[in-house]
Amino acid sequence: MNNVLGIDVGGSGIKGAPVDLEVGDFAEPRLRIPTPQKSSPKNVAAVIKEIIEHFSDSIGDSPVGVSFPAPSRHGVIRFIANLDQGWAGLNAEDYLSDKLGHAVTMVNDADAAGLGEVHYGAAKGVPGVVILTTLGTGIGTAILNDGILLPNTEIGHLEIDGYDAEKRAASSVKDKKHMSYKDWATKRLQRYYEVVEMLFSPDLFVVGGGVSKDHAKFFKYLNLETPIVPATLFNRAGIIGAAWQANWRIEHPDSVNRDTARETAEKAIRAAGGED
């Protein structure tokens, strides 16, 4: 099997590496290029093109998986909190496939991390409901049940105590406000995780994002029913998970039929009849 290219688009850097899906790790050291100041589709596409060219020998015409910090419904970016608004509403899969000449699969960044962790990391073989949260600029979430992902969950934006949760509990808030790990954990994270625990009854929390490497500094302050563990692929999870999903799409070409749900719904309404 060829290596599949995974790309991770973040607020400060765009990173890419060919992924060996047999072992679930990078086949070559990753390349990181700073995210353009204006993170528009055009500028980000140009950076991804550079990464593709850098790895062209090892990826051939492989599909490309892009881990992206926004919900992506069949490739369409629904809204975007932390990058250029030019992405909102765009069919990014079509746009990037066209610009880059490779079949591109867009994956929400937390979902990509969840896929990486469930196939190769901390959530592998874990039965029941696993909730992965990435703590960074925002809060990303992936919900898996018996290893199957429910995509685009966005519960980092739960409204808790009148606030968008990520505006209170993301690790960027801790950094901006110079909070200690203890204050951040007890005053911000505890409330977030206990609400998520109440709503979803998970069996396991997995914590990703850059700050997860410092887990020993803040897990000890959290008082939760649910076991909580750090992600094991750390910042490699997004790239690996996006590559995994891109390959899955190639192996399941009929998996995305954008019209099926709408047609089924229209048929159900016709069958139900009813008077105005």
Binding residues for ligand BGC (CB under 6 A): 69-71, 81-82, 108-110, 134, 138, 140, 154, 156, 166
Q: Which residues contact 178 (CB under 8 A, 6 or more apart)?
A: none
Structure tokens at 97: 């496939």
Place of tokens 């979803």: 200
> What single DSSP character describes residue 210?
G
Q: Which is nearer to ligand BGC, 20 or 154 (CB)?
A: 154
Kindly state the smallest distance separating residue 273's Cβ from ligand BGC, in Å: 39
Q: Where are the alpha helices (DSSP H) in the chain?
A: 41-54, 56-59, 92-100, 109-120, 165-169, 171-176, 181-184, 190-200, 215-218, 237-251, 260-272
Query: At closest approach, how far in Å is the CB of 56 from ligand BGC?
Result: 28
User: Under a CB-based contact definition with an 8 Å cutoff, are residues 114 and 132 in contact?
Assistant: yes
At 89, phi and psi to the nearest 5? Answer: 85, -10
* Least CB distance to ligand BGC at residue 82 (A): 5
Q: Please, which residue, 4 or 83, has the CB nearer to ligand BGC? A: 83
Contact 24, 240 (CB under 8 A): yes
- Per the DSSP assignment, residues forming a β-bridge with 104 are 64
Q: Contact at 8 Å (CB) between 215 and 141? A: no
| Residue 93 or 154 having the CB closest to ligand BGC | 154
- Give the nearer residue to ligand BGC in terms of CB position, either 75 or 140: 140
| Shorter beta-carbon distance to ligand BGC: residue 70 or 149 | 70
Element containing residue 122 per DSSP (H, E)? none
Closest CA to 207 of 190, 231, 226: 231
| 63 versus 156: smaller Cβ distance to ligand BGC | 156
Q: How far is the CB of 212 from ligand BGC (least distance, A)?
A: 13
How far apart are the C-alpha atoms of 99 and 41, rounded to whole Å? 10
SS3 content of the chain, % helix, strand, coil (to 5): 45, 25, 35
Shortest reach from residue 238's CB to ligand BGC, in Å? 9
**Least Cβ distance, residue 243 to ligand BGC (angstroms):** 18
Closest CB to ligand BGC among residues 65, 71: 71
Residue 6 CB, shortest distance to ligand BGC, in Å, is 16
